[in-house]
Amino acid sequence: MCLDFICNYVSNNEDDSDSDSDSDSDSDSDSKSKKNYKVNKYAIIVSISDYLYINDLSYCDEDAISWCDYLSSLGYKIILLGDKTSSYGKYNITTYAYEANIRLAIKLISDRINKNDKFVLITSGHGSGDGKGNSWICCLDENGNGVGEYSDVELKNDLKTIAIKGASIITVFDNCFSGGLLDEIVSDGKNICAISTCGINGFGYDVSEFKHGKLTYWFLVKTLMTNKYNRIEDAFKSMIVNYDGDDQDKPLISGNKNLMF
């Protein structure tokens, strides 16, 4: 699967009815245009269980299926980036989760997104870092020698292109060391909220009992999918009371906690 596949996918799934074009005259006010504007919702889900060069995980594909179920029910247009062998239920991957493909997908959404639109980034897979706050997402092409390592600084810069458009951003990272991503990501915008499965030196876990990643199970399956919340902070607080583990292995939330999916 090539990069052009993402371009074609996004183009073919664009909604042509972002606003009401049936105005009575060219002199309609800006307030009417704003009233008729349809908020677009975009999501990128990155899910990797079967890596090419490093050890595999078990339930990241199940995480992706649950997130696709939830976000599609809310009207999100989803780009799903996965691995080459996992099954994603009724969902087909848009393309493979190479670092270049993930970054291109963000760029294509950035090119299309507008003020007041919503963007969600979900990642489930390996993560790594130096334990001092410099963290990265291990993409499908992670080889242990720097290739396929989507760093906190790179991610911050990519998401900034969406933030400056005035869209809201929610990110959820079910990756080890992902607490090291948060400070960078939320530093450039008042409409960004980031959640990690652990601290800067912590771990996320596949849980066979739940057949999901631990964060995805407690935050998505047992919280978001079972109750209605108006603020992401309320959902997070409801989830965290049931979450066991050492402090570094507990989820974190940062940024604008009044946002919601």
3-state SS class at 141: coil
CB 99 within 8 A of CB 143: no
181 HSE (CA, 13 A, CB side):
36
**Beta-sheet strand order (sheet of 135-138):** 127-129, 135-138, 149-151
Q: Which residues on adjacent β-strands are paired with residue 169?
A: 119, 192
- Taking a C-beta distance cutoff of 8 angstroms, is the pair 197, 178 a contact? yes
Please report, in tens digits, the pLDDT of each residue of the chain (261 residues total): 445 556 665 556 665 444 433 334 444 545 545 567 789 999 999 999 999 999 999 999 999 999 999 999 999 999 999 999 999 999 999 999 999 999 999 999 999 999 999 999 999 999 999 989 999 999 999 999 999 999 999 999 999 999 999 999 999 999 999 999 999 999 977 999 999 999 999 999 999 999 999 999 999 999 999 999 999 999 999 999 989 989 999 999 999 999 999
Q: pLDDT digit string (tens) for 65-76? A: 999 999 999 999
Whole-number Å distance between alpha carbons of 77 and 15: 9
Q: Please tell me the distance from the alpha carbon of residue 181 to that of residue 183, in angstroms, as a whole number.
A: 6
Give the contacts of 56 (CB within 8 A, at least 6 positions apart). Answer: 49, 50
Token output for 84: 């080459």
What whole-number distance in Å separates Cα of residue 49 and Cα of residue 85? 9
Q: By C-alpha distance, which of 85, 187, 94 is closest to 133?
A: 187
Spatial CB neighbours of 73, under 8 Å, sequence gap ≥ 6: none
CATH says 36-255 is which class? alpha beta
Joined together, the tokens standing for residue 63 give 């995480």
Report whether 256 contacts 193 (CB < 8 A): yes
